[in-house]
Amino acid sequence: MINEKEIMDTNVEDEEIINRQWTTKLRRKAVGELPPQKLLPDSQPAYVSSWIYVFGVLTLSALGVVAISGAILALFGPSWWQQSPEGHFVNSLHLWSVELFFFFMVVHLWGKFFMAAWRGKRALTWITGAISFLVSIGAAFTGYLSQQNFDSQWIATQGKDGMNSIGIGAFFNLMNFGQMFMWHILLLPLLVVIIVGIHILGVRAKGVVPPIGALENKQEYAKAWSGKVRPYDIIKEGTIALVIVSLLTVALSVVFSSPNKAPLTIQRWAKADPTDFVTTAATELAGTSFSGSYGPPYNNGNGALQYVGPISLQKLAGVRIPINSAQDFVLQPLATIPNNPTLKDALNTYEAATPSLQNIWNNNFAKADAKLAVNGNSISVPKGNYGPIPVLMKNLLTMANTGGLDADLENSHQFYGTDYTKPLLFMADGNYMATLAQQDHLTGDQWGMMNETDKWPGQPWLWLYTMWYQIPPMSTSSNADALVMSIMVLLTIGFASIPFIPGVRTIPEKVGLYKLIWRDFYKDQKSTK
Amino acid sequence: MYGAKVLSLIVGALINLSGPGSYIKWGFIQMSVANLVLILLMIVVLALAIAIPFPHRPGGKK
């Protein structure tokens, strides 16, 4: 770094060049906006005297514990956090530090709203705070998807519809564990840290907003505080907050632990409800299952194609994750079974048949569903023209019962080796998975997005998102996901724009909670007068 | 061996939250009791943070 003395020693031409340099300009701007006494202050305005102010640093401390516990989990992997007691304990630390992070952040956000903390050219601080809250929700969401337990499976299969409905699902695949894990441990935390960093620098540069009515004109709120100050040890405050949050996290983990409901496998499904498995597999073969007729990003069907007005972003995004339910879930897995001439004949017969003949067999088998009897690996249907379908279903059931179908569908040839798109789509097409989800109040009509399995608290910060699904027209619309996602995008923009919305930005003044928060200041101001 | 026993004590939840949860239903609103407790706690903590006097020395310098 060149100091001012060195600049004086250089010739005039060099000095002019140095003054024009991007680096010099950036350094002067940075040091001017954020001198060391602002970055690490030893005093702060006397009006900063309420417990509500500690929730910002508590949120940051919880973020630190989240990062440390998350890093340990990432190092050891899913088997460790699901199966070993030490791993499960660190999993509990991660869960409870996340709960504390959101808990403190929500209280911090409420406090800042009631203080109208965007006053005095501090709108960017509010906006970065709002964005960091929303990005944190995304980070937490990908975390829930990364658990690799039943909750994460169910969230992935349901949340995908929201993402697909606005075209995001084509690129952001909730059922691809590898991709979600990458977002969860790297991309979203990086974004959170960057935005939170900008937020903190904004607070340090602009200072804490003065109380409402403290200054005579609005311009003064943007200037540095020239009134009473009190000693403030920011390092000590941060250290105490970190210790408190760490102890709270450990205590909550010891007392409550964390949920660990085993993931559903096709093998488990086939053993528990073989009839549901076979009838679902038959719809996959016929291409009439939810996945088989879904539409983009999986295929060209229109079963789940959604619009906002005349536009379908889902259609615009196109088929990016090709799924042919007959080939991917039934025929190709069966073709991998060796030394089975009967199956080979059945496969050849089915594939050689014309589409209309395949349709006749599939329709006949679908009609016989109600009379389908499954016992172990054998299935029986009333006499009829089903072609080779009973043989295909019997062998697929056997393959499922041995775990071979799980292995085949999980055998991804894509970049991420842990892509569960196929087995999850298959399982979600059946009734068994939904029955399990309903028992844990996880379904959409049960406000399931908010809930965790068993008695653990879930994600109450998703209340608004899940609420829209309960209200007409969303509750009855075939475009519910697209409508809800559009509403949430608009509300998100509105939330970040509160400082600029007349009527909303003045709510804190009308509510008057600020009078209690700054009561010491107003009392002092009154006595001074 | 002793370490493993201590660890199993630490990692074992004192309050077992496994098992079917409880839910409240109010009109179209459904919520788990655990989520409701969390939301109520946030409101209580906000109220306490505002209501409890903050320790400080009187005065302060300009």
Task: Note the pLDDT tens digit of each residue in A331-388.
Answer: 999 999 999 999 999 999 999 999 999 999 999 999 998 889 988 888 899 999 999 9
State how far the Cα of B9 lies from the Cα of A208, in Å rounded to an integer.
45
Lowest mean pLDDT among A46-50, A80-84, A337-341, A351-355: A80-84
Residue A207: Cβ within 10 Å count: 20
Asked whether residue A414 carries a pLDDT value surpassing 80, the answer given is: no
For chain B, list residues with pLDDT below 50: none
Residue A107 has what pLDDT? 97
| Domain termination site, one of A398, A419, A437 | A437
Residue A282 has what pLDDT? 97
DSSP symbols for A27-61:
HHHHHHHS-HHHHS-SEEETT--SGGGHHHHHHHH
Are A284 and A404 members of one domain?
Answer: yes
Residue A370 has what pLDDT? 81
Q: A331 with A350: CB under 8 angstroms?
A: yes
What token pair was written down for A474? 């969303």
Amino acid at A17: I
Are A257 and A192 members of one domain?
Answer: yes
Q: Which residue has the higher pLDDT, A230 or B13?
A: A230
Are A209 and A344 members of one domain?
Answer: no
Are A413 and A428 members of one domain?
Answer: yes
Residue B59 has what pLDDT? 54
Structural element, H or E, at residue A375: strand A373-375
Residue A63 has what pLDDT? 97
- For chain A, how many residues are written? 529
Q: By the CB < 8 Å criterion, does A172 face chain B?
A: no
Q: A242 with A61: CB under 8 angstroms?
A: yes
Give B30's strand partners: B25
User: Beta strand pairing status for B23-26 and B29-32?
Assistant: antiparallel
| Domain assignment present for A522 | yes
Q: Binning pLDDT at 50, 70 and 90, where does residue A416 land?
A: low
State how far the Cα of A35 lies from the Cα of A23, in Å rounded to an integer.
17
Are A343 and A407 members of one domain?
Answer: yes
Q: What spatial distance separates the first Cα and last Cα of chain B, rounded to whole Å?
A: 62
Percent of chain A with pLDDT over 70: 97
The 10s digit of each residue's pLDDT in A154-202 is 999 999 999 999 999 999 999 999 899 999 999 999 999 999 999 999 9
| Domain assignment present for A507 | yes
Are A270 and A382 members of one domain?
Answer: yes
What token pair was written down for A211? 């109380």
Three-class SS state of A117: coil
Residue A83 has what pLDDT? 87
Asked whether residue A139 carries a pLDDT value surpassing 80, the answer given is: yes
pTM (2 decimals)? 0.90
Across the interface, of B41, B46, B61, the residue whose CB is closest to A110 is B46
Q: What angle do CA A336, A339, A340 make, to 5 degrees?
A: 85
Residues 6+ positions from A11 with CB-CB distance below 8 Å? none
Residue of A nearest to B39 (CA): A460
What token pair was written down for A497? 């724009």
What token pair was written down for A525? 């101001």
Q: Which of B6, B24, B44, B54 to mutate to test the interface with A (most CBs of A within 10 A)?
A: B54
Contact A257 B30 (CB under 8 A): no
A361-390 residues touching B, CB cutoff 8 A: none
Contact A454 B19 (CB under 8 A): yes
| Domain assignment present for A21 | no
Contact A254 B13 (CB under 8 A): yes
Residue A34: Cβ within 10 Å count: 14
A38-57 residues touching B, CB cutoff 8 A: 46, 49-52, 54-55
Residue A237, Cβ density class (10 Å: 0-12 exposed, 13-18 middle, ≥19 buried): middle
Q: What angle do CA A182, A186, A189 make, to 5 degrees?
A: 125
Q: A306 with A312: CB under 8 angstroms?
A: yes
Are A306 and A338 members of one domain?
Answer: yes
| Domain assignment present for A32 | no
| Domain assignment present for A42 | no
**A282, A394, A274: which is closest to A342 by C-alpha?**
A394
Q: Return the DSSP state at A227.
A: S
Residue B11 has what pLDDT? 60
Q: A341 with A264: CB under 8 angstroms?
A: no
What token pair was written down for A45? 């305005």
Distance from CA of B46 to the nearest CA of A (A): 6
Asked whether residue A134 carries a pLDDT value surpassing 90, the answer given is: yes
DSSP symbols for A341-364:
HHHHHHHHHHHHS-HHHHHHHHHH
Residue B6: Cβ within 10 Å count: 10
Are A198 and A292 members of one domain?
Answer: no
Residue A375 has what pLDDT? 83
Q: Within 13 A of A301's CA, how many CA atoms are on the CB side? A: 17
| Domain assignment present for A457 | no
Residues 6+ positions from A101 with CB-CB distance below 8 Å? A59, A62, A63, A65, A66, A136
What token pair was written down for A337? 């079974």
* Phi, psi angles (nearest 5°) of residue A306: -120, 155
| Domain assignment present for A326 | yes
Q: A149 with A263: CB under 8 angstroms?
A: yes
Residue B6 has what pLDDT? 55
- The torsion of the CA quartet A61, A64, A68, A70, rounded to 10 degrees, works out to 110
Three-class SS state of A489: helix
Are A206 and A273 members of one domain?
Answer: no
Are A322 and A228 members of one domain?
Answer: no
Residue A369 has what pLDDT? 83
Q: Within 13 A of A26's CA, how many CA atoms are on the CB side? A: 4
| Domain termination site, one of A391, A417, A437 | A437
**A57, A54, A86, A56: which is closest to A69 by C-alpha?**
A86
Q: Return the DSSP state at A478.
A: T
Q: CATH number of the domain at A96, please.
A: 1.20.810.10
pLDDT, mean of residues A108-121 = 97
Contact A516 B7 (CB under 8 A): no
Are A158 and A299 members of one domain?
Answer: no
Q: A164 with A297: CB under 8 angstroms?
A: yes
Residue A202 has what pLDDT? 94
Residues 6+ positions from A506 with CB-CB distance below 8 Å? A116
Percent of chain A with pLDDT over 90: 84
pLDDT, mean of residues A306-317 = 94
| Domain termination site, one of A437, A459, A480 | A437
Residue for token digits 């509750």? A475
Three-class SS state of A294: coil
- Angle of the A85-114 helix axis to the A234-256 helix axis, nearest 10: 130
Residue for token digits 């907050």? A241
Average pLDDT in chain A: 93
Contact B51 A516 (CB under 8 A): yes
List the domain range (segments joined by +) for residue A358: 266-437
| Domain assignment present for A476 | no
The total of structural domains in chain A comes to 2
Q: Binning pLDDT at 50, 70 and 90, where does residue A12 land?
A: confident
Q: How far is CA A42 from CA A39, A65, A230, A234, A490, in A?
A: 10, 26, 9, 7, 41
Are A293 and A256 members of one domain?
Answer: no
